Amino acid sequence: MKGFKAAGNRKNPILEQATIEFNSPLILASEVTDEDGRSSIVYTDGEGKTLCAETADGRTYYAYDRYGNLCFVLPPQIEGGRMPSDEELDKYAFIYRYDEWNRCIGVKTPGAEWTEYILDFSGHRVMSRDGNLRNRGEWRVMIPDIFGRPAIVGIFYGDPDRTAIGALAVRAVPDFKSRS
């Protein structure tokens, strides 16, 4: 049975076909029944990563990069385990990008533009934008408090300095000194 893997680099993964022996002792096949009584067979590797899920609707394939990051989810609409075209990837696939610390910095959902994320030094998402915000030159900003909860939200216009934001731990901290 054919499977897939992600080549390229973390910020720009490239889908490649791979031969995976699903009857290998290194692959675990589990039959799973969901709450609606539908059964599926899930194939996982020795690290517990799902490689393929087979249902009555077809097979969903999962492709990981060499660092173990999930880079592609190919649903049953991409039939036969063959290499999908660029149009099929755009229309049906979930695609993920990562930074050098294996943190997700981009998500492409089926039929939509990329959603980009800018993370601060501690890994919190402080800025994001989808295709609509990108067309308007805007970013959604979320500054967390010291517990990671949204404290300040807003819109940023322009092009942020990703390197500077990535070097800081951005937090909204209360000013206790000004209270009497």
Q: What is the mean pLDDT of each run of 10 residues along the chain (180 residues)?
A: 85 87 75 91 91 91 94 89 89 96 96 95 92 96 89 93 85 67
pLDDT at 156: 95
pLDDT value at residue 127: 95
Q: Which of 87, 105, 123 is the last residue of a domain?
A: 105
Residues recorded for the chain: 180
65 with 19, same domain? yes
What was the pLDDT predicted at 79?
Answer: 76
Same domain? 119 vs 100: no
| Residue 7 shares a structural domain with residue 39 | yes
Residue 158 and residue 90 share a domain: no
Same domain flag for 17 and 37: yes
164: containing domain: 113-180
Q: Phi first, then psi: give them for residue 32, nearest 5 degrees.
A: -120, 140
Q: What is the pTM of this model?
A: 0.86
122 and 143 assigned to the same domain: yes
pLDDT for 99? 94
